[in-house]
Amino acid sequence: MKTICDWEAEGGECSTDVTSWVSACPGGFWKVLKKRTSERGAGDQTPKMGSLCRVRVWEKAEESTLGQSLPRAEADGEPTDGVHSHVSTPATQATPLPRSPATVLQVPLDTWVLLRLGEGQCDVIEGCLEGMKAGEMCELLVSALNADSRPGPGTGQASSMCAQGEGNVEQHPGAGRLSANPLHFVVELESFTSGQECWEMSASEKWEWVKEHRERGGRRFREGDLWGAADCYSRALRLFITLKGEKSGGEMDGKKGGGEVEGEEKKNVPEGGVERGSGGDGESVEGQGGGEGVQRDPATQEKIPLDDEYSVVRAGLHSNLALCQLKLGEPARAQRSSSRATELDPAGTKAWYRLGQACSQVGELGMARTAFRKVLELQPGSPSALKALREMGVQEKEQDTKLGHRLSKMFS
């Protein structure tokens, strides 16, 4: 919890408590401070997971006061049904928005959009909406946690993207400036649909969310949005943990196998199309196959993962997260994620390969060699594993040479 002084130190004026957290954007980590305003919402309900939220965000000019930067919905001709209650909005789907490392908020400024809470379109905005009521506004101060979090060269003053019809994007100034000063925004929640807390969901509903997160993570990974992919896999894992106590015996409901598999071999695909790993170069994400191995709970007839598939799918999520972490330059985290994947599914060659990569990057060469040898044990002749072991030999010789030089200096 930030204090009033903390908010003021960040460049804002405050008369109430301020909350803070760190959010992940495509460009990196950003520190967010949220301050409630005098605009209080109606009712006692707030958005939950799955709620469609009608939101508008604008940048607050330094000389302006809250509410003067942009007219409220009643003044600009926008529909006002549901402004003071959590009733359904006319649209049934979230506004399709691209994600880009050149923007912080991942939503257009100065226009109404529909965001589905839980999808991770913008972690900053979702963090605000979770505690807001219909008709409420809040102020944000957003600043890069470190220099690497800021939008890269070439973005100039570009920032948050504003849609101008299908397929057209306008760069809006304000949300991605390369500035040492925090960015100041106002977020307005007009209305939202009903949603569910995690504990209110059935097992099958949780399983559907897990699959959505996994598929969205794979899509973002292929698009180069590594932060977004990592966020999706993390969300899936957090939800997956709650499914553990809800598995039970039952009949299969769904196809076995199915879907194309990336990598050198296709024989490593278990029931349900969840890839246990093909060795390869460890660059492809797992679990993008076709059918899913599921069962029906005898008591509720809900679809939930098979007992055998539970560990495999969860291991695949950890393995995919490890790949994102490796590409984001976080080998220590990748080591933990890939190690967990190998514990859950010892037959996953991709997880072992990524564990070897992570251990090598943190300097634990013995553990790296063990991991790469495990890949060869599971998939004899894997070119990637053989190449990695050759590189390990070179690294070990370099380490021995450096150690020899240091010892010679000590005793000379």
pLDDT at 6 over 70: no
| Whether residue 1 has pLDDT greater than 50 | no
Higher-pLDDT residue of 64 and 229 is 229
pLDDT of residue 371: 96
Selected residue with higher pLDDT from 1 and 302: 302
Q: How confident is the model at residue 119 (pLDDT cuts 50, 70, 90)?
A: very high
**Residue 139, beta-bridge partner list:** 35, 186
Cα 2 from Cα 222, distance rounded (Å): 37
Question: For residue 394, what pLDDT is reported?
Answer: 79
Q: What's the pLDDT at 173?
A: 37
Eight-state DSSP code of residue 141: E
Residue 406 confidence (pLDDT) above 60: yes
The widest CA-to-CA distance across the chain, in whole angstroms, is: 84
State the pairing for strand pair 52-59/183-192. antiparallel
Band (211; pLDDT cuts 50, 70, 90): very high
Of residues 30 and 210, more confidence is placed in 210
Average pLDDT over residues 366-378: 95
Residue 340 has pLDDT above 90, yes or no: yes
Average pLDDT over residues 298-317: 74
**pLDDT tops 90 at residue 81:** no
Contact 118, 163 (CB under 8 A): no
Task: Tell me what the mean pLDDT of segment 167-175 comes to.
Answer: 35
Q: For strands 161-163 and 169-171, give the pairing.
A: antiparallel
E-assigned strands of 26-108? 28-36, 52-59
The percentage of the chain sitting over the pLDDT mark of 90, rounded to a whole number, equals 39
By CB atoms closer than 10 A (0-12, 13-18, 19+), residue 74 is exposed
pLDDT above 90 for 164 = no
The residues pairing with 116 across neighbouring beta strands, listed in sequence order, are 52
Distance CA 192, CA 172 (A): 26
What pLDDT, on a 0 to 100 scale, did the predictor assign at position 268? 36
> What number is the average pLDDT over the span 77-101?
61
pLDDT of residue 87: 47
- The residue ranking higher by pLDDT, 136 or 400, is 136
pLDDT value at residue 14: 53
Confidence of residue 404 (pLDDT cuts 50, 70, 90): low
Give whichever of 40-44, 47-51, 272-276 has the largest mean pLDDT. 47-51
Question: Whose CA is closest to 305, among 168, 209, 170?
Answer: 209
Give this prediction's pTM. Answer: 0.73
CATH code, 202-402? 1.25.40.10
* Region of poorest pLDDT, from 62-71, 119-128, 194-203: 62-71
**In angstroms, rounded to a whole number, what is the distance separating the alpha carbons of residues 29 and 147?**
10
pLDDT at 23: 84
Q: Which amino acid is at 47?
A: P
pLDDT at position 384 over 90? yes
Higher pLDDT, 291 or 223: 223
Residue 318 pLDDT > 60: yes
Looking at residue 263, its pLDDT comes to 32
Q: What is the average pLDDT score of the chain?
A: 73
For domain 4-62+83-90+102-149+169-195, is the CATH number 3.20.20.480? no
Please report, for the chain, the start and end positions of each structural domain, with discontinuous segments joined by +: 4-62+83-90+102-149+169-195, 202-402
Secondary structure of the chain: what % helix, strand, coil (to 5)?
35, 15, 50
Q: Which amino acid is at 43?
A: G
